[in-house]
Structure 1
Amino acid sequence: MNITIMESEIREEPEIVGKILNNNINVLLKIKSYLEKRYLDGIYISARGTSDNASNLGKYLIESMLGYTVALSAPSLFTIYKTPPSLKNRIVIGVSQSGRGEDVCEVIAQGKKDGALCIAITNDPDSPLAEMSDEVILCWAGEEKSVPATKTYLAEIFNLYLFCAILSDRTDILNLLKNDIPLYIKEVIDKSYGIDVTRFHFMDRCIVIGRGFNYPSAIEFSLKLKETSYIFSESFSSADFLHGPLVLVSPQMPIFIFMPSGPSYKHLKEVIGILEEKNTEVFSFSFERLKEERLNFVLPFKVDEVLSPLLFAPAFQIFANRLAVEKGINPDNPRYLKKVTITR
C-alpha cells in the first residue's frame, strides 16, 4: 500500500532534528550573548494553529528552565482592535511554519516598534516573518506538502528545547538533544506502527487529556484527530477536566491520555482510576506498561517528563495518520482546509 505524504513527512523527523542541531546552535548562542547584556521583562510569543500549540509548550519550557514570564499573544488586539500591549524590554517570538501569517507578522512589527528583540521560528527563510525579525531560527524541514503539520511541529518544539537548553546552560538536556533524542524519535516512529487503530474505526468523538508539559501534546493530538479523521475531539488539562468536563464521560466516549514518568504521573494515574470506575475506555501513551496492550502504547525509551513531548509527538502523529487511512480518509488533503491559512 502506498504511504501517505503525511506519513513520509513524519519519517523525516529524525533527519530534521539533526539539521537543526547542525545549523541553529550558533544563532542561539548569539541570542544568549545578547540577553546577557540586556534587561528583560519577559517573553511574548505569537502563533496560530499547530504553531500555537508548540508555543504553549514553549511557555512551559521557558518559564521552568529560564525563569522568564511568558505571555502567549492575543493577535486580535493588534489586528482588529488596534490596542496592542507594550512590548518594551521583551523578547517577541513569532512562530509560523510558513512565516506568512499576517497577524503574527503584525505582532512582530509592533515588537520592532517598541524596541524588542524579535525572533522568528519558521520553516521559510524568505518569508515576511523571517525578513522582518532580528534573528531567525529555522526549522530545516523542507517543504511540508501534507496539510496537517507534523514535521514542522516537531521542528518547532525541538527548536524551543534547544533555545531553552542553551540559554539556561542546561548541558544535561543539551547533550540528550544532541546524542539521544534523534535516535529515540526514530525508534518511536518505528514502534508506533504496532498500535492497533482498527478498534477506533467508528470513533467520531473523543477526549484527550494531558498535564503540564503534555497539555500541549493533548491539544495538538486533538487537532490532528480533527484534521485527519473529522473526529469531534476535545482536549483538557487533567486538572481542568476534573472541574466540570468529567460529566461528559461515558462508555461510548473514548479517552486518550499522556502518561509521562515524572511529577504528573501520580495525578494522571488517579484520573485513569476515576475514569475506569465509570466504565470509560482509556487509551494511554506511556513509558511503562499500564494495562493490556490494545489500550496502551508504551514508548521504547524512558526520558524525564520535561522531554517527553518530543517522543509523544511522533507517536500520536503516526496514530492520527493510520486512523485516517483506516477510516478511508486521505489525511493529506482534509476537506475545506488548505496548507497556509492567512488570518488577521
Structure 2
Amino acid sequence: MTTSRMRAEIGEQPGALDRTIDGLLPRVPDVARLARDTRQVLFIARGSSDNAAVYGRYLAEARAGRLATLAAPSIATTYRRDLDLSGVLAVAISQSGKTEEIVQTLEWAARCGARTVAVTNGHGSPLAEAAEVALLTEAGDELAVPATKTYTTQLAALAVLGLGLGADVAGDDLRRVPDQVARLIEATEASDALPEIVAGLAGVPGAVVSGRGLAFGTALELALKLKEACYLHAMGLSYADLLHGPIAVVDERTPAILVAAGDGPTLPGTIALAERVRGAGAAAFGVGGGAGLAAASSAALAGPDLPEWVAPLGLIVPGQILVENLARALGLDPDVPRGLNKVTQTD
C-alpha cells in the first residue's frame, strides 16, 4: 500500500521539531522583552491553530501565571468593534500566515494597543510581517490537508512563548521532545492496541474525545482530525464538561478516547473517567496517561515520557497515526478530505 502524504509528514515531525526548537529557543529574550509590560495574553486562531492556542492558554495560566483568553476574530472583522487592549500580548497563530481574518485581527489588536506576536510556518507571510515578534516554525512544506507537523511545531513555538512569559518550567525539557516523538512513532505503529482501536472505531458513527488542562487542546485536535479525515462524528470535550451531561451519549455505539499526560493533576480524573465509561458498557481507549490510564482502558496507546507542560507536543502523535490508519481502513484518502483546502479563508 502506498504511504499517504499524511503518514510521511507524521514521520517528518522529529526533524521539524528539532529545527524549530533550535531556531526558537534563542528568541525567548525577545518574547520576554515584548511581554514585560503586558498582563494578559490574547490568542487569535482558527482550526488546528485554535487547538494549539488552547495549549498556549493553559501553559500561560497554569505555569506562567498570566491570564489568557481565546479571541473571537469576528469582533474585529465583522462587528468592527475597537476594544482597549493596552496591557495585552496578542498572539496570532496560523500555519500559512495567509488567512486574512487572522492577519486582520492581529492588525486590529495592534491598533487597539496590544503588543503582537505571530506563530507561523509562513516565512515572509503577511502574518509574520504584521507582528512585532514572529516565531517562525520550521515544518517545511506540508502537502496533506490535515495538519500534523505544522501543528506540533506550533506547540513548540508556544512552549517557547511560555518560557518568555516566565513559566516555571525547565527549558531543557523541550530538547527531549524530538527524540520522544521519534520513539512514539515507532512504538505506536508496533503496538497491538493500534489495530484494536482502529477496529473499535471503524464500526461506530461517533466518539467522544476527552482530556483536561494542558491535554485539553490535544483532545480537541484529535477530535478535529477524526472529523476531517475519517468523517467520524467526534466530540472534543473537557472531562469536566463531559461529566456535566454529555456523558449520556457514551454507550456501546459511542466509545470514548481519553488523552492525558503521564503526570499532572488531571491524570487521576482521566483514569476515573475511563473506569466510569467502561462501567457503563462502553469502550474507553486511552492515549498517554501512563500505566494507570492503560490499566483502566479497554485498549491504550502509550504517550511520551515528558513532563506535563511539554507532553502535548508528543501526545497528539499516537492520535495522528490512529487517524491515518482509521481513514485508510475506512477506504478514505487521509490526504485530501472532502470539502477542505490547505488554507481556509473566513470573513
Give the TM-score normalised by structure 1: 0.94
Match of 2:124 among 123, 126, 129: 126
Determine the structure 2 residue equivalent to 1:298: 302
- 1:129-208 superposed matches below 5 A: 129-168=127-166, 170=168, 173-178=170-175, 180-193=176-189, 194=191, 195-196=194-195, 197-208=198-209
Q: Which region of structure 1 is more displaced relative to structure 2, 188-197 or 317-326? A: 188-197
Indicate the residue corresponding to 2:6 in structure 1.
6
Distance 1:27 1:188 in 2: 28
Structure 1 residues 276 and 14, CA gap change in structure 2 (3 angstroms): same
* Regions of 4+ moved over 4 Å: none
Q: Please provide the CA RMSD for this pair.
A: 1.7
Amino acid at match of 2:18: G
The alpha carbon displacement at 1:166 in A equals 4.1
Change (3 A) 1:138 1:228: same
Superimposed CA distance per residue, residues 21-70 of structure 1 (whole angstroms, 9 cap, x where no aligned partner): 2222233322213434xx21311110000000000110000112221111
Counterpart AA for 1:280: A
| 1:1-344 → structure 2 map (5 Å cutoff) | 1-36=1-36, 39-168=37-166, 170=168, 173-178=170-175, 180-193=176-189, 194=191, 195-196=194-195, 197-260=198-261, 261-286=263-288, 287-288=290-291, 290-291=294-295, 295-299=299-303, 301-344=304-347
What are the Cα deviations for residues 238-276 of structure 1, in whole angstroms up to 9, with x where unaligned?
111111101112111111001332211221222122212
Assess if the C-alpha contact under 8 Å between 1:42 and 1:69 holds in 2: yes
How far off its partner does 1:233 sit?
A: 0.6
Counterpart AA for 1:46: I
Instruction: Encode CA deviations 1:69-125: one digit per residue, 9 max, x unaligned.
Output: 112101111111111422222111110001111221121111221332211100112
88-97 or 157-166: which moved more?
157-166
Contact 2:210 2:238 in 1 (8 A): yes
Equivalent pairs counted in the alignment come to: 339
Q: Give, in angstroms, the shift of residue 294 of structure 1.
A: 6.7
Question: How far, CA to CA, are the matches of 1:288 and 1:314 in structure 2?
Answer: 18
Aligned letter for 1:317? Q
> 1:16 touches 1:140 (CA, 8 Å); kept in 2?
yes
Identity %: 29
CA positional deviation for 1:343: 0.8
Distance 1:79 1:169 in 2: 32
Contact 2:227/2:234 (8 A) holds in 1:
yes
Question: 8 Å contact 1:208–1:236 — kept in the other structure?
Answer: yes
Partners of 1:339 and 1:176 lie apart in 2 by 31
Q: Secondary structure at the match of 2:90?
A: strand
Q: Does the CA-based 8 Å contact 2:54-2:217 persist in structure 1? A: yes
**Quick check: 1:43–1:92 contact (8 Å CA) kept in 2?**
yes
Give per-residue Cα distances to partners, 1:168-214, cap 9 Å, x unaligned: 265x5211112x21111110111111211234322321111111111
Q: Which structure 1 segments of 5+ residues have no match?
A: none
Assess if the C-alpha contact under 8 Å between 2:210 and 2:219 holds in 1: yes
Gaps of 5+ in 2: none
Going from structure 1 to structure 2, the CA distance change for 1:26 and 1:325 (only over 3 Å counts) comes to same
TM-score (norm 2): 0.93
3-state SS of 1:94 partner = strand
Return the alpha-carbon distance in structure 1 between the equivalents of residues 344 and 56 of structure 2.
Answer: 22
8 Å Cα contact 1:60/1:213 also seen in 2: yes
